[in-house]
Amino acid sequence: MNHLIYMYGTDWGMGRFPICSVWILLFSPLVAAALITLVTGKNKALSAALSIGAILLSFTLSLRLFWLFAFKGIQHQPHPFPWLVIGNSVRIEFGMTTDALALLMLLVVTGVGSAIHFYSLGYMKGDPGFSRFFACMSLFTFSMLGIVISSNFIQIFIFWELVGVSSYLLIGFWFEKPSAAEAGKKAFLTTRIGDVGMMLGILLLWSHAHTFEFAELKARLPSLDLSIGTLALIGVLIFTGAMGKSAQVPLHVWLPDAMEGPTPVSALIHAATMVAAGVYMLCRVSWLILPSETALWLIAWIGGITALMAASIAIAQNDIKRILAYSTLSQLGYMVMAVGLGGPTQAMFHLTTHAFFKALLFLGAGSVIIALHHEQDIWKMGGLWKKTPITFWTFVIGTLALAGVPPLSGFYSKDEILLLAFERNQPLFLIAVATAFLTAYYMGREVFVVFCGKPRDQHAYDHAHESPLVMTAPLIFLALFSIITGWYSKVPDFLGPPHEAERHSLLLTGGLIAVPVFGFIVALRLYWKPDPSDAPVKAALGKLWTLVENKYYFDELYHWIIKYVQGTIATTCDVFDRWILQRLGIGGLSVGTGLLGRTVRLLQTGSISGYAFFFGLGATVIIYYVVVR
């Protein structure tokens, strides 16, 4: 059994590992962000060193905590301190959770984050906003770490919003480009919609339980006697928050647009922070969601639909980063589906492996983009494998891991989810298998079009070059982890009670291996040629191709809704404000007062006799009333 070590008052130390270092783990990126913004902004090298140093410090401390927990069975947990106390009823603490789930997530965030920070050194070289970039990255890391260690709903919500703000800063990093500014705004607003739902869910839960603390809620939930409807409503509302952050249908529209940010940002958002936050939060509060069948059902189906829909959109995209963005959507769909099927452990496992290979893929794509001087259209690439061998091979490893080819990590985690679906919900299992096929297919398409065949833009090809070591080293590091994270199959066991070992047939496992292989073969047949093109697929799919090429017209639908629904509401409010409030209310009041003033002014004659007369009259009347009555 693990001992839980709580520290009180002035007791700062526990042997050689002082407890305050848990706080250092959290706050060092914030300190770095503040220092860069306030002090070292002018000095690019120092700024980058601060930011990288901070995340490396966090990473080291996470490793140490993880090691102590996993092998020594010691759990360091600083005592929470009161943060917001309102009267006797509301007491919000700033606590720190360091259970298995949080520790695993800390490792993922800081580990993948460190690789991305290093990579940014190369990618952002020469950018005028170099220091600002690192400040934002540190802020982003801090916010994400805050979500991971949160011990209550308010704390998680505040860090949740901080992640939203920092994502806004980073997606719109090149704000002089209108599309980037728009994308930042879209990401922020879309996730806000989900956040409102989450806030409502938190408040609804509070109105029943009168506490925000996870531990307390978890213990008291069965004794609260919530009706099935309330429980489902709370679960669904909290899930809305995750829907926004983890970009589930129908709030997924911001994620592909977020590709406007610099590539390391995409990698960070897609792998370690932001989108992982939603799934992590669901796992953190899984005790709240698991009792409600309705909520689980909804979550599972939204996850499944997202997975399939995003995978189908990805087959018709032409931007090297957008394909990966839709693939992230699709994988997040898997994770959310796993939560909905009652397997938060499997979701976390997939999140962990996904973090490594998705970061790897994004950084690989970034390397290609840099090699071709900021070219993102895959149809202008081709034949790059000779020019950028390290990028190519690591990208292939990432692709295989994503597609779920054994023995790479993606296979193990995806396998777990597929088997879970097979046991609990057959239709979703079919959807998941179809998604797995599409995943292999579109990733195969991307690899073949980008790296194989003939160079289609000879000029760009001639100037292409392999990225410097500072960019390729993180690629190799991540590729290594993309291979091995799945082998540590104890990750699911580490997180919770091991689910009963299913004796799935060899046939099923064989089939699951065959699916991605089949996907690759199809892609190979269609795109493995000197001069590949989409034409045959386009012809075969017909209308369907147009549909997926236009992303199922979600953006158009939202534009329509905003134009007509929101536009109508706005016009009504405008008329109400302008005519009822302004003209009738405020205008009426002012005109009325003016008229009254003019009327009363007539009494002011300036004639002393008149005043005396009225004065006498008034005095007489008062005396009459006082004396006679």
Partner 1 sequence: MTTAITLNDYLIVSGLLFALGIAGIIIRRNALVIYMALEINLNAANLALVAFSKFNKLVDGQILAFFIIAIAAAEVAVGLAIIVALYRRKQTVSVDELTTMRL
CA distance between the termini of the chain:
92
Measured from the CB of residue 587, what is the shortest distance to partner 1 in angstroms?
A: 25
Shortest CB 158 distance to partner 1, Å:
59
Sites for partner 1 among residues 508-547 (CB under 8 A) = none
Rounded Cα distance, 59 and 53, in Å: 10
> What is the footprint of partner 1 within residues 143-202 (CB under 8 A)?
none
The encoded tokens of residue 297 equal 């059902």
Of the pair 489, 593, the CB lying nearest partner 1 is at 593
User: How near is the Cβ of 612 to partner 1 at its closest, in Å?
Assistant: 5
Our CA dihedral for 274, 410, 56, 258, rounded to 10 degrees, sits at -30
For partner 1 (CB under 8 A), the number of binding residues is 10
| Measured distance CA(391)–CA(405) in Å, rounded | 19
Minimum distance from CB of 603 to partner 1 (Å)? 10
Specify the residue, 1 or 600, whose C-beta has the smaller distance to partner 1: 600
Shortest gap between Cβ of 600 and partner 1 (angstroms)? Answer: 10
Nearer to partner 1, 585 or 618 (CB): 618
Looking at 363-464, which runs of residues are DSSP E strands?
none
> Cβ closer to partner 1: 572 or 605?
605
DSSP 223: G
Residue appearing with tokens 């000779």: 386
CA 205, distance to chain mean position in Å, is 23
Task: Report d(CA 101, CA 103) in Å as an integer.
Answer: 6
Q: Least distance to partner 1 from the beta carbon of 595, Å?
A: 16
Nearer to partner 1, 227 or 599 (CB): 599
| Closer residue to partner 1 in complex, CB, 571/605 | 605
Residue 29, helix vs strand vs coil: helix
Helix (H, G, I), strand (E, B) or coil at 6: strand
Min dist. Cβ of residue 627 to partner 1 (A)? 12
Instruction: Give the integer Cα–Cα distance in Å for 234 and 240.
Output: 10
CA dist 391 and 369 (Å) reads 11
Minimum distance between the CB of residue 593 and partner 1, rounded to whole angstroms?
A: 16
Q: Which is nearer to partner 1, 38 or 627 (CB)?
A: 627
**Which residue intervals of 173-227 are DSSP H helices?**
178-209, 214-220
Name which of 42 and 601 has its Cβ closer to partner 1.
601
Between helix 426-451 and helix 293-314 the angle, nearest 10°, is: 30
The residue type at 224: L
Is 506 a binding residue for partner 1 by CB under 8 A? The answer is no
Type of residue numbered 582? Q
Task: Compare residues 539 and 627 and give the one whose CB is closer to partner 1.
Answer: 627
Closest approach, Cβ 616 to partner 1, in A, equals: 5
Q: How far is the CB of 615 from partner 1 (least distance, A)?
A: 9
Q: For the window 426-465, what string marks contact with partner 1 as x by the rule CB under 8 A?
A: ----------------------------------------
Cβ 625 to partner 1, closest distance in Å? 18
Q: What's the closest the beta carbon of residue 609 comes to partner 1, in angstroms?
A: 5
Angstrom distance (rounded) from CA 28 to CA 50? 10
Residue number with CB closer to partner 1 (14 or 612): 612
**Is the Cβ of residue 389 or residue 616 nearer to partner 1 in the bound state?**
616
Residues between 75 and 134 that touch partner 1 (CB under 8 A)? none
Q: How far is the CB of 591 from partner 1 (least distance, A)?
A: 20
- Residue 310 and residue 330 in contact, taking contact as beta carbons nearer than 8 Å: yes
- If the CB atoms of residues 89 and 604 are measured against partner 1, the closer one turns out to be 604
- Please name which of 363, 423, 352 lies closest in space to residue 398, comparing C-alpha atoms: 363
Q: Is 338 exposed, middle or buried (0-12, 13-18, 19+ CB in 10 A)?
A: buried
Ramachandran category for residue 307: left, alpha or beta (phi over 0 → left; psi -120 to 50 → alpha):
alpha
Query: 95-112 burial by CB neighbour count: b if 16+ within 10 A, else e?
Result: bbbbbbbbbbbbbbbbbb
Question: In angstroms, rounded to a whole number, what is the distance separating the alpha carbons of residues 518 and 502?
Answer: 25
In the complex with partner 1, the residue whose CB is nearer, 227 or 604, is: 604
Minimum CB distance to partner 1 smaller for 536 or for 616: 616
Specify the pairing of strand 74-78 against strand 3-7: parallel
The secondary structure of 347-377 as a DSSP string is HHHHHHHHHHHHHHHHHHHHHHHHHTTS--B
Per-residue mark of binding to partner 1, 22-61 (x: CB under 8 A): ----------------------------------------
Phi-psi category of residue 583: left, alpha or beta, with phi > 0 → left and psi -120 to 50 → alpha? alpha
State how far the Cα of 366 lies from the Cα of 363, in Å rounded to an integer.
Answer: 5
The alpha-carbon radius of gyration of the chain (Å, integer) is 30
In the complex, least distance from residue 607 CB atom to partner 1, rounded to whole angstroms: 7
Residue (223 or 609) nearer to partner 1, CB: 609
Q: How far is the CB of 599 from partner 1 (least distance, A)?
A: 13
Type of residue found at 475: L
**Interface of this chain with partner 1, residues 588 to 627, rule: CB under 8 A:** 601, 604-609, 612-613, 616
Number of helices (H) and strands (E) in the chain: give both, helices first.
Answer: 28, 4
Which residues are registered as beta bridge partners of 319?
Answer: 377
Which residues form the interface with partner 1 (CB under 8 A)? Answer: 601, 604-609, 612-613, 616
